[in-house]
Each structure stands twice: as C-alpha cells, then as structure tokens.
Structure 1
C-alpha cells in the first residue's frame, strides 16, 4: 500500500500523467478536426452547382491539401516533442546513474573512515580516546602549552593581573578549574615567560612553537594515525574532484564527513594541517599541510571545532594565514 501511495504522490508520476493527457488531447483534436472537415465538405459540396461530377470534385478537394500539410506538420511536431522528452528522460537517467556511482564510492570511503577511527591506537588507547591522547601528547611537548590551555579561559587584563601578582587562586578566578590553577602555578614557578608568550600576538613565534611541538609528536606517533589521515584526505579529495555532482552537492556530501568527526578528531586534524612540518629522514612524507588544509578550509570541516579545544586562540589565525597563502599560489 505504501508503494502505491509513493507512486501516486511522486512528481515524476504526475509529470508522466500530464504528458500522456496532453497527447490524448492532441490526438482527439486531430480526430475531431478530421471528422468536422469531412462532414463539412460532404454537407456543403453536394449542393454546389458545378461540383456534381467526380473530376470536378477532385479538383475542388485538392484545394484543401493545406489541411493535409497542417496535419503532417502536427505529426512532425509531435515527433520532435517525443524526441525531446526522450532526451530529457535519458539525461535524468544518466544523472541518476552518476549519483549512484558517486555515492557507492563515497559511502565506502566513509565506512573505511569510521573503521579507521575505531582502530586507531596509541598507548593502550583506541578510537576517540586515542585522539584525545594524541592531543594531550601535543600539549606536553612544549613547556608553555599546558599553561596556555588554562590561560585562554581568562581575559587579557586578568592574565596581566596574574602576571603582576605572580599568583593565582580559584577564588579570584572562578572560571578556572583546579587543574587550570595548578598548570598556571607550575608556569609561574618558572617565572612569567609563559604568560608573556601567551600575550604575545606575533604569529611567527606561535607558529614555530606549534611546528616544533607537533614535529616531536609526529615523529613518535604519526604512523599510528597516518592511515586515518590519508583516508580522510582522499575522501574529501574525491568529493572535490568528482565530475558526477555539482558544487552544491559537494558541499552537502562534505557535511556528511564533518558530521562523523568528534571534537578530539577535529583538533587532531587541525594540528596535523596547521603548518608545514618536515620529519627527520622522511622528507617525502607530507602531513596535512598544504593539501589537506586547503580541503578543510574549502568545505569548512573545522566549523564545529570549539575554539577552547585548541591550545592558543592565535593558532586559528595561523591556520587561516597559511590557507590564504595556499590559495594565492
């Protein structure tokens, strides 16, 4: 019953019905015209003087040859309409086949992506926990990064106050958790360098710190994640390069990919693509920059990543700057 309802309510069904109805109306119009003119000639010619013999009637009838030409023209027009409709149907069928071909490959890649994300393993952590562990490893590879994560919860005037007082308490800054206070205290034990670096708005310094820290992490753990990153890159590249779908549809399929990514994955993907990183002895190995970064930007894959999840707010500016440089090349 549901199939019947779907068939009857389908726009395609009503379009075909409309075309069939138009054909019936044209057919009836032609038949009606043929019957009408036949009767008209029969009724009006018999009483006309000089049209009694067959030869004269034949000559008179030849004058109506234009009607035959009219009907022939109508038949030819109907043939043209039929050919155009067939062409349209073939085009729609080809488009449907193209979409099916694209989706078959796309969803296979998406399935592989989900399988890879579940199989990723690092220090006895798997799946999402593995990405969280990777992000924590990155924070530990720079002396300032754990302090940065805590400081970004505060305003710049608050950070300057802590710098002047050289102390921080949770009572004074309720937005901080106990772990944040501990991280800032640890930084203050070394002086105010971490706070100065956080307040520094120079992108080169922050980019170099990220590059150095991620290089250390990548040299140790990138092989655990390389298959995951490669598959994600080729999934986005397949969407971007496909000739089977238009640009609007590409954006829609990219949203499918984006919806599969957890917060921890987004952060890991972000830092893997933020800047050019060369690993010792593996010069031919390309991480996420520049190709992956360009696709992340084009399809806005990082849209749902929380700014608080990254180590320093300026890291987003570094990513945007580098992507703009890619676009200009």
Structure 2
C-alpha cells in the first residue's frame, strides 16, 4: 500500500516536472529553430543571388567573346577582300592616254607614253607602281600630281575607287564600335594589322587620295590621322617645295600639314540629304525644286 502511494506520488511529480520542462524547452527552442530556418532561407537567397551574379558575369563574358569573335571575323573578311581587290586591279594606260591628249600636246608628258607603248595593261599590285609613275612623270610638281590623280578618280574611278572605298569601310568598322565592345587598345591593334597590309606605294596613293578636295570632305583623312595609318610611309625631303613619298611623287609642306590635325565636324550639319536611293550622296541637291 505504501509502495503504491509512493509510486503514484513520484509519477505525479515526474509528470508535472517533465511537463514544465517540456514547455520550457519548447518555448526556448521554437524561436531558435524559427531563427535558424529564417537564417537558412536568407543564406539560400544570398547564395542564389551570388550564383545568379556569377552566371550573369559568365553570360556577359560569353556575349563579349562572341561579339569579339564576330567583329574579328568581319574584320578579317574585310582584310581578305582588300587583298582580293588589290590583286584584281586593272589599269589600261591607253584609256588614260585618250583622256590626257591636251596634256600630251602641251607638255613633255608624251615621253612617258612613248616608254609605255609596248606594255599598256597592268593587273594587280603593279597598278600602284604605274599610277605613281604616271603621277610623277616629267618631274611633276605637287599641284600637277594632285591634278592628275583627280583626273583618274573623276574620269576613271573604276581603277581605284572600290579599293579605297573598301579601305575606308575597314577603318570605319574599327572606329564605329563603342569602347565597351572594342577597347581603344584593340582598335589600334586592328588598325595596325590593317596598316601592315599596305605597301609603301599604297600608302603614297592613300596620302594623295585623302588630300583636301580629292575624295571626300575629310572623313577618310580623319580616320588616317586617328589611327596613324601613314606612320610607315617613307618621306624624303628633296627641297623646300618637294617631299618625296615612297621614292615616287612630290608633295609640299601644305599637303603634309593636312595630316597633322583632324577636321572638326561637330558644328557642321551633315543630316540634310536628298536621301532615297541616293542615301547620303552629297552630290544630289537637298532640294531639287
């Protein structure tokens, strides 16, 4: 009987104490578990954000790599086209001769044609040499050199026109990209690669082609200045009035000075064009009425 009462008291005591302990334990641990759960959720969100950030960076790197690859593919295709155009150049001296009859009659220029009458046609890069020889014949002055070249460009544009247009587009391709796509360092790297494709004779003709009033309003020349495209053009002073380019044609100080500073187009309005199929062709009056 005594044992039974004692057991009952112990059981009642244990039940009461354990219940209180359980309430205490649950009251303490529940907030802790809730906090840990919330903390784990926050950690998960932070980790996911970091993973998303890393994924975004990888995507940006991949996109940049793809952009760079696309730009380089396009650039080297233009380089390849440049060589193909240079190799396919054609020059028929007899056609230029017909356009130069007045000069033939009035100057010693006839001697040049007498030397060349056995070979009148040239294909590929020898065209550059022959045109330079034509420009410099009879010790032509810088003014005469430019006049002769302008005649070729105006009356026989098919000879070199497409060659220089492609070269201009190659430089525009390099220059047109934003800095976050192509850095200044890479732009100059590409320009250097392009420059290395040009012989000294090509550089001499490029110099004349981009002189004021010869080809455009100065956009081409600005790109030559920006990327130092004439850096490797051989220039030798013969006299105060003659600086020999690539051992061929004479230019003067004023012509050399044109390649020192770029032309500022910021205050000029180039937006008014007749447009249509003519695009930005400035030879078409803005208003035909």
CA deviation after TM superposition for structure 1 residue 104, in Å: 2.2
1:46-65 pair list within 5 angstroms: 53-64=21-32, 65=34
CA deviation after TM superposition for structure 1 residue 304, in Å: 0.9
**Is 1:66 aligned to 2:3, yes or no?**
no
**Is 1:128 aligned to 2:56, yes or no?**
no
Name which of 197, 205, 208 aligns with 1:260.
Answer: 197
> CA 1:133–1:288 in 2, change beyond 3 Å: closer, same or farther?
farther
Name which of 223, 228, 247 aligns with 1:300.
Answer: 228
SS of residue matched to 1:302: coil
CA deviation after TM superposition for structure 1 residue 210, in Å: 4.5
The question of whether the paired residues in 2 share the 8 Å contact of 1:258 and 1:301 is answered with: yes
Structure 1 distance, partners of 2:18, 2:254, is 103
CA deviation after TM superposition for structure 1 residue 214, in Å: 2.4
CA deviation after TM superposition for structure 1 residue 129, in Å: 1.6
> CA 1:61–1:321 in 2, change beyond 3 Å: closer, same or farther?
closer
The question of whether the paired residues in 1 share the 8 Å contact of 2:218 and 2:263 is answered with: no
Residue in structure 2 matched with residue 203 of structure 1 by the alignment: none
Residue in structure 2 matched with residue 242 of structure 1 by the alignment: 177
SS of residue matched to 2:171: helix
> CA 1:62–1:327 in 2, change beyond 3 Å: closer, same or farther?
closer
SS of residue matched to 2:130: helix
- Higher mean alpha-carbon deviation, 106-115 vs 218-227, is at 218-227
CA deviation after TM superposition for structure 1 residue 114, in Å: 0.7
Structure 2 distance, partners of 1:273, 1:95, is 34
CA deviation after TM superposition for structure 1 residue 256, in Å: 1.4
Residue in structure 1 matched with residue 49 of structure 2 by the alignment: 80
| 1:145-165 alpha-carbon deviations (Å, 9 max, x no partner) | 4xxxxxxxxxxxxxxxxxxxx
Of structures 1 and 2, the one scoring higher in RCO (CA 8 A, sep 6+) is 1
TM-score in terms of structure 2 length: 0.64
SS of residue matched to 1:125: strand
CA deviation after TM superposition for structure 1 residue 94, in Å: 1.1
1:103-122 pair list within 5 angstroms: 103-122=72-91
Residue in structure 2 matched with residue 161 of structure 1 by the alignment: none
State the aligned residue count: 210
Larger Rg: 2
| 1:142-193 alpha-carbon deviations (Å, 9 max, x no partner) | 7544xxxxxxxxxxxxxxxxxxxxxxxxxxxxxxxxxxxxxxxxxxxxxxxx
Aligned CA-pair RMSD? 2.7
| Larger helix percent | 1
The question of whether the paired residues in 1 share the 8 Å contact of 2:211 and 2:258 is answered with: yes
Q: Which runs of 5+ in 2 are unaligned?
A: 1-16, 92-119, 237-243, 269-289
- List 4+ stretches of structure 1 deviating above 6 A: 49-52
Residue in structure 2 matched with residue 214 of structure 1 by the alignment: 149
Residue in structure 1 matched with residue 112 of structure 2 by the alignment: none
Structure 2 distance, partners of 1:325, 1:89, is 40
The question of whether the paired residues in 2 share the 8 Å contact of 1:51 and 1:57 is answered with: no
The question of whether the paired residues in 1 share the 8 Å contact of 2:136 and 2:145 is answered with: no
